[in-house]
Amino acid sequence: MDESVGKWLGWIGVILGVIGFFWMPLWLGIAAIILGIIGLFSPEKTLNIVAIVAGIIAVIIALA
């Protein structure tokens, strides 16, 4: 996977995770986790790990 694709997936995942803190946390959190996992196959590992963590936090907020 190209580096720019990994960056885009990571940034979109982070944005979805952060928006998920406030609105539709379950669905946006799951989307952020999925994008982060797909993005882990690119060289941009750190950004995609942040997207996964943001998604996990959003899902925890939804379930709490």
Confidence of residue 64 (pLDDT cuts 50, 70, 90): confident
Q: Which amino acid is at 26?
A: L
List, for residues 10-61, the tens digit of each pLDDT value. Answer: 899 999 999 999 998 899 999 999 999 998 888 888 889 999 999 999 999 9
What does the alpha-carbon distance between residue 11 and residue 3 come to, in Å, rounded to a whole number? 12
